[in-house]
């Protein structure tokens, strides 16, 4: 019974890669097709396949769609107000040119929390051009740390969509994921960013070309960097506080119930992001002359970017549910338990393989989470351990970006790199980030 089921799962994954890579079918549609095919091969009744897909998509999107939508809205306001550029300029002014690579890493680390990776990169990359022209050093010295900070936050730290989706699929607590995301992400960003950039920039010299400044450069009254940072970290702090006060480390009996209730309410990701949006709407938007009609237009355009991520996440949830209902997860779990294979390594390797084969980090994260969720469902792992598996999956999905990843071409195009130079810089950087993330996750797994 196990052999046909295993073949059904393998055939489904092979079909997913074929549809996306060879036929260039959009990942959302490809995932839905694979759900049906795996269900049929596993012998599920036709109506049960459809109900399972609906259940998986609905249960996933109930949470993820709200968080991604609120995050997109928040990012749109920061983008159009010039806040992201202002933050970068201020950090650079404070640190000086010698510490500029570290400043760019920290800027990317902070800005990518509310802003999608590609948007944040396009907004901030002119700063790296200016630094390179001023110092005469390779553009990679400043661009790679920025990219490392952006990539780490995008993959490791909620409320960005990838870790939100994986945490939801695995049932991990977002507070623990945020904490471990910082603990694993910071050393990964340092090694893959400033340290690697200093090494590779001496071997690959890239001269900064011409770059058209974005529209927000003309904004006369951008908000202060302190205000921007405060608003960015409001949802993070609230979510972490809620996690801490509801964790076993605190005896709630000694804390007034009203405080527990209030922090639990405000620290839920929905409420935390709503508060951040309202703060940004007023202090970054209205107080600085952005009219209500303009803000509404910004909000509408922001949701367009979030649409594909929401649909893709829902399809990933449907695929996960198919694997659970068919019993494929139990079979994988039995095999894993028999081999004593660490679930950290299991999640990392699955995400890595999918990432290398089909390119998209988001698809790799969601698909790997769907395959890993049934594996850990039967085990009695603690919430911190499950959260570490989320980080390991994020690390695997971040690795070895190459020609089938849109980020490979985005980075190469904006930095003026040849394909060989992109492999030698960007691809190596993503691999370093993944390896460091895995090592820290394994270390924490055995320490807690």
pLDDT tens string, the chain, 448 residues long: the values are: 444 777 887 788 788 778 877 887 877 888 899 889 989 988 889 999 999 999 988 887 887 788 778 877 887 777 677 776 676 677 777 877 788 899 889 888 887 776 667 767 876 777 787 778 777 889 999 999 999 999 998 889 887 778 888 998 898 888 899 999 999 999 999 999 999 999 999 998 988 764 434 444 455 667 787 888 888 788 878 887 887 787 665 655 677 888 888 988 998 888 988 998 899 888 888 877 777 777 777 777 777 767 776 787 788 778 878 877 877 655 655 555 555 568 899 899 888 887 877 667 877 888 888 888 877 876 778 899 999 999 999 999 999 887 667 678 778 877 888 888 988 999 999 999 999 999 999 999 999 8
Residue recorded with tokens 């969601």: 366
Structural domain boundaries in the chain = 61-447
Q: pLDDT at position 216, please? A: 46
Q: pLDDT at position 66, please? A: 82
Closest Cα to residue 139, out of 153, 123, 152, 126?
A: 126
């Amino acid at each position: 019974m196990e052999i046909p089921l295993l073949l059904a799962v393998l055939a489904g994954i092979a079909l997913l890669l074929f549809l996306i890579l060879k036929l260039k079918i959009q990942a959302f549609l490809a995932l839905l097709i694979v759900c049906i095919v795996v269900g049929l091969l596993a012998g599920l009744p036709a109506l049960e396949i459809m109900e399972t897909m609906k259940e998986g998509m609905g249960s996933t999107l109930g949470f993820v769609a709200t968080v991604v939508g609120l995050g997109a809205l928040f990012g749109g306001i920061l983008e159009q107000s010039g806040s992201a550029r202002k933050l970068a300029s201020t950090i650079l002014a404070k640190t000086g040119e010698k510490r500029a690579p570290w400043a760019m890493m920290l800027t990317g680390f902070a800005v990518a929390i509310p802003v999608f990776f590609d948007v944040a990169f396009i907004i901030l990359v002119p700063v790296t051009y200016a630094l390179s022209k001023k110092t005469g050093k390779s553009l990679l010295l400043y661009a790679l740390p920025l990219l490392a900070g952006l990539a780490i936050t995008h993959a490791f730290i909620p409320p960005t969509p990838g870790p939100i989706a994986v945490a939801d699929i695995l049932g991990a607590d977002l507070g623990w994921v945020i904490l471990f995301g910082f603990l694993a992400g910071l050393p990964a960003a340092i090694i893959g960013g400033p340290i690697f950039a200093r090494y590779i920039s001496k071997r690959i010299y890239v001269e900064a070309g011409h770059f058209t400044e974005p529209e927000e450069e003309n904004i006369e009254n951008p908000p202060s960097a302190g205000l921007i940072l405060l608003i960015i970290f409001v949802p993070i702090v609230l979510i972490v506080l809620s996690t801490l006060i509801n964790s076993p480390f605190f005896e709630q009996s000694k804390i007034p119930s009203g405080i527990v209730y209030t922090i639990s309410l405000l620290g839920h990701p929905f409420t935390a992001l709503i508060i951040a949006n309202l703060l940004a709407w007023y202090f970054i938007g209205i107080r600085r002359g952005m009219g209500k009609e303009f803000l509404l237009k910004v909000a509408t355009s922001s949701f367009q970017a979030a649409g594909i991520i929401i649909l893709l996440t829902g399809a990933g949830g449907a695929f996960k549910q198919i694997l659970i209902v068919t019993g494929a997860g139990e079979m994988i779990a039995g095999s894993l338990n028999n081999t004593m294979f660490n679930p950290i390594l299991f999640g990392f390797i699955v995400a890595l393989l999918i990432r290398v084969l089909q390119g998209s980090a988001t698809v790799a994260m969601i698909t790997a989470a769907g395959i890993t969720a049934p594996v850990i469902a039967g085990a009695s792992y603690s919430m911190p351990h499950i959260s570490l598996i989320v980080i390991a999956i994020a690390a695997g999905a971040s690795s070895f970006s190459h020609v089938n990843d849109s980020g490979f071409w985005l980075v190469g195009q904006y930095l003026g790199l040849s394909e060989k130079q992109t492999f030698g810089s960007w691809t190596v950087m993503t691999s370093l980030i993944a390896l460091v993330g895995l090592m820290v996750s394994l270390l924490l797994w055995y320490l807690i």
